[in-house]
Structure 1
């Protein structure tokens, strides 16, 4: 009646170490058109929130079956991620993105403006000379830097402007979301 069930669990340590390596590789890099930016050959790392925002942008693009991941998808990724300073800043502006219809594919390639927005974020981090990660705020301001992009036009039509970008840029190196009470 009181039989014990014994389950043998194999040693999975070898898989765990491979998994950590893969995660580290994914967590610290996003596509770049400029692999050699600095004379040291080192490239700054992306924050976990920025990586998640990018992943959410790609997911939105795939869900909506769009042929590219553009700045508008990057913008949606920031909003979907939702926990960064940049996302909170956009939420405080009470933006209504529901009126914009995006038709976004399976592993969508980046548009040129979206790639330039990512590259802008990396370049700004390198120019700052500060250690740390590239944040979602870098990503949002990279979108804003692409004046002719869909993401920039969406932001502008919803009231984001150079003054707001300047205000947000003061906190570019943090993903900390202050309490706005």
Structure 2
């Protein structure tokens, strides 16, 4: 007769319940702001707020400052006997000159030449001279292309000074504008038209060559001079 085996189980079974709270181990830190090491995010010690910072690679870029001048530099201040009689530059001319300095810095040139003065006039854009240039097909894009052809591109790692000094031909163009206004004897301000005609008067300058390359001519210069010399002319 075969033997019979009986397996007797306990009457009650006790099951252990896991704790509802767990502690982070040393290998898995809790997700608190102080554990976020992204260089763009920083958590403060006093609270859990996060602030977005400037990316590290952007902080190394050099910003271009813009300083507005009150007048244009003239190499011959003694040409005017009295400061009360000295002709003043229009605000559009001053802004055009400021834009020219900025354009020279954007091109990474060491100086502000007649080509930069021309770009400054077009960048300001609201003067009679700027409108006249655009009406005759002289645009910023065309001028930039001609500058690259004539003068080439500067070193991309070079940073121009805040106020790149004027080249000799650019200084002569500004002096020409002052002299022409004094010769007219009609009072009023020195306008952007005087500045543009001063650039055109420097026949060996980059500004003159670029204007000629994009179709500007002596006839255009005479027409602009006629428009800007009318009695009661206001550059607007």
Using structure 1 for the length normalisation, give the TM-score: 0.78
Secondary structure, aligned partner of 1:68: coil
1:45 and 1:134 in contact (8 A); partners too: yes
The alpha carbon displacement at 1:63 in A equals 1.7
1:170 correspondence with 2:226 = yes
After superposing on structure 2, the runs of 4+ consecutive aligned residues of structure 1 that deviate more than 3 Å are 39-42, 173-177
Q: Residue 168 of structure 2 aligns with which residue?
A: 112
1:99 correspondence with 2:145 = yes
Give the RMSD, CA atoms, in angstroms. Answer: 2.0
Gaps of 5+ in 2: 1-67, 155-159
The alpha carbon displacement at 1:99 in A equals 1.8
1:70 and 1:110 in contact (8 A); partners too: yes
CA distance in 1, matches of 2:69, 2:164: 17
Q: Which has the larger radius of gyration?
A: 2
The aligned length equals: 153
2:69 and 2:98 in contact (8 A); partners too: no
1:32 and 1:115 in contact (8 A); partners too: yes
Gaps of 5+ in 1: 1-24
Write 1 or 2 for the structure with the bigger share of helix.
1
Using structure 2 for the length normalisation, give the TM-score: 0.61
The alpha carbon displacement at 1:36 in A equals 1.0
Question: Structure 2 residue aligned with 1:39, among 81, 89, 92?
Answer: 81
1:136 and 1:175 in contact (8 A); partners too: no
State the structure with bigger RCO (CA 8 A, min sep 6), 1 or 2. 1
